[in-house]
Amino acid sequence: MSINKEIEGTHLIKRVALIIYLKSVSDQYKLRRYGDIVYFSKKMKYCMLYVNRREAKEMQKQISNLDFVTYVEISAEDEVNLDSEHIEKQITDMAKAAEEKLQLEQEKNEDQMQ
């Protein structure tokens, strides 16, 4: 479940993350006036900036027009299914696949030893 779905009935402002790819790492400081920088990667030259959901599209256009910005995208965090049943199913599926792989490797090793 998304945090934005949980705060629908409250007075809190819904926010969304913009992922901004930069030409230079030193330009991240110029983005502080647009929102809250919550993550910055020096190696990958991108940062995550939280802005109000209502203003996200407009901010995306404004920021993408800046000369030090390569690309801007809106985070797809609402599309991620965090329901506990869904997560449990994924974990069990991964465990089954890992067990099958381990069993095949053990059988392969036994065949090689003979």
pTM: 0.63
Q: Give the pLDDT confidence of 45-62 residue by residue, as tens digits.
A: 999 999 998 899 999 999
What pLDDT score was predicted for residue 86?
78
DSSP characters over 29-42:
GGGGGTSEEEEEET
Q: Which residue has the higher pLDDT, 109 or 60?
A: 60
Cα distances (angstroms) measured from residue 59 to each of 71, 81, 92: 13, 26, 41
